[in-house]
């Protein structure tokens, strides 16, 4: 489970969707499928899958049963609700597995990019001050070996108020996130503030194209498919814009022309959709667009991380050199003569 959201993690969702897709293709009913997956899990996930199977046995649809369980991501529940009536559940589950596996790769990339700046911050704020203070205490006299653990205790105690404040802020942030308040506060950032808006919109359009691909493959009309897939953007602004395109398709406009009028669809997207319509391979074109949009998500993140990283490295390099120089002077003071 996610520490902040209380939702299943991308790793758990990727594994679950892959297993459900595989067993579903073999003709196993949904209820039995969920029971099989529950048998391989423990704790909260086991109870959640078992309760979902019970709800379906009592007459609920899969989408309704999933919505009652708060631990499933919204996109997963809405995707199932969109694909279940269209009879495209198998394809949706396999596609969802691909989606969550891509999320895992993106997060791994971001963590790797943040690891080096985090190490520099830790070194500049903890390691160097510790050894500087220790060398100062040694210069001032006393047995450094005997007082090492005492110095460690004083060093930690001096920073205890700061550490407590950080822990309280993290706890408050986690509580607000679980209550949904933090998402409402940060939603405008994702909608309008660059580069967060680029990331949010790319992810939303990737979900839209992915859903459209599956719905088109299942034989659903484009006008109906747009309305269904637009819900999966999880963004009211984008959803309203795309629904207008669905109305234009219903009036007889081509999908490429209708979506091309949307400010969230790029000219290259529209051109690729047009090629897909003319070649009769629209579902493949839409799926490829989804992959392109997902691949583009780390780009603005990379830009801002590289910029912040450069500033951070410059500042820390200066502090590092200054403190190293201070430590060298202390070492020379310790030398005899």
Phi, psi angle pair for 42, to nearest 5°: -130, 165
Last residue in a domain, options 101, 134, 167:
134
Domain identity same for 88 and 204: no
User: What letter does residue 29 receive in the DSSP assignment?
Assistant: -
Per-residue tens of pLDDT for the chain, all 337 residues? 555 566 788 888 888 888 888 888 878 888 888 888 887 777 777 888 888 888 888 888 888 888 888 888 888 888 888 887 777 788 888 888 888 888 788 788 777 777 777 787 777 777 877 877 777 777 666 554 447 777 788 888 877 777 787 788 878 877 777 676 766 666 666 666 666 677 778 888 888 898 888 888 877 788 888 888 888 887 788 888 888 888 888 888 888 888 888 888 888 999 999 999 888 888 889 988 888 887 776 555 565 666 666 666 666 666 666 666 666 666 666 666 5
- Are 129 and 226 found together in one domain? no
Q: Write the pLDDT tens digit of every residue in 68-123.
A: 888 888 888 888 888 877 777 888 888 888 888 887 887 887 777 777 777 877 77
Same domain, 2 and 115: yes
Residues 5 and 130 in one domain: yes
Say yes or no: 108 and 36 in one domain: yes
pTM over 0.85: no
Dihedral sign computed on CA atoms, order 74, 77, 81, 87:
positive
pLDDT of residue 194: 67
Q: What are the distances in angstroms from CA 225 to CA 67, 90, 265? A: 21, 17, 16
Q: In this structure, is residue 118 part of a structural domain?
A: yes
Q: Has residue 171 been placed in a domain?
A: no
Is 31 in contact with 50 (CB distance < 8 Å)? no
Q: Assess if residue 269 is contained within a domain.
A: yes
| pLDDT given for residue 34 in this prediction | 84
123 shares a domain with 5? yes
pLDDT of residue 334: 62
Whether 123 and 200 share a structural domain: no
Same structural domain for residues 98 and 14? yes
What pLDDT is attached to residue 237?
A: 81
pLDDT for residue 183? 61
Residue 56 falls inside a structural domain? yes
Residue range of the domain that includes 80: 1-134
Same domain? For 32 and 114 the reply is yes
Whether 103 and 232 share a structural domain: no
Tell me the C-alpha distance between 78 and 171, whole Å: 30
Question: Does one domain contain both 123 and 203?
Answer: no
Within a domain: 205:
yes
Is the same domain home to 1 and 125? yes
Domain presence at residue 67: yes
153 within some domain? no
End position of a domain, from candidates 81, 107, 134: 134
Looking at the domain assignment, is residue 204 inside a domain? yes
Please state the domain count of the chain.
2
DSSP string, 80-93: HHHHTTTT-HHHHH
End-to-end CA gap in the chain: 61
Q: Which CATH number belongs to the domain containing residue 5 in this structure?
A: 1.20.81.30
């Amino acid at each position: 489970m996610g520490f902040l959201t209380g939702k299943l993690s991308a790793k758990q969702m990727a594994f679950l969707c892959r297993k459900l897709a595989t067993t579903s293709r073999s003709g196993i009913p949904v209820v039995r499928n969920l029971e099989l997956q529950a048998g391989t899990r423990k704790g909260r996930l086991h109870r959640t899958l078992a309760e979902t199977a019970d709800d379906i046995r009592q007459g609920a649809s899969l989408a309704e049963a999933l919505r009652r369980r708060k631990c499933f991501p919204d996109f997963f529940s809405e995707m199932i609700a969109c694909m279940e009536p269209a009879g495209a559940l198998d394809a949706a589950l396999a596609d969802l597995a691909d989606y969550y596996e891509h999320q895992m790769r993106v997060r791994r990339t971001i963590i790797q990019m943040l690891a080096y700046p985090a190490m520099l911050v830790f070194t500049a704020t903890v390691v160097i001050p510790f050894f500087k203070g220790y060398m100062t205490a040694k210069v001032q006299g006393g047995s450094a070996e005997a007082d090492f653990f005492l110095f460690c205790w004083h060093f930690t105690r001096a920073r205890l108020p700061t550490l407590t404040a950080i822990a309280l802020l993290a706890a408050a942030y986690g509580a607000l996130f679980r209550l949904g308040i933090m998402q409402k506060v940060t939603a405008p950032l994702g909608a309008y503030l660059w580069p967060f808006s680029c990331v949010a919109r790319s992810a939303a359009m990737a979900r839209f194209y992915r859903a459209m691909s599956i719905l088109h493959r299942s034989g659903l009309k484009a006008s109906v498919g747009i309305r269904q897939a637009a819900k999966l953007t999880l963004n009211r602004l984008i959803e309203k814009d795309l629904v207008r395109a669905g109305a234009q398709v219903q009036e007889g406009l081509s999908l490429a022309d209708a979506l091309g009028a949307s400010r969230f669809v790029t000219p290259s997207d529209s051109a690729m959709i047009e090629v897909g319509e003319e070649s009769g391979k629209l579902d493949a074109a839409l799926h490829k667009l989804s992959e392109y949009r997902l691949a583009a998500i780390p780009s603005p993140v990379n830009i801002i991380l590289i910029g912040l990283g450069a500033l951070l490295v410059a500042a820390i390099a200066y502090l590092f050199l200054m403190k190293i120089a201070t430590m060298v002077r202390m070492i020379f003071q310790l030398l005899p003569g």
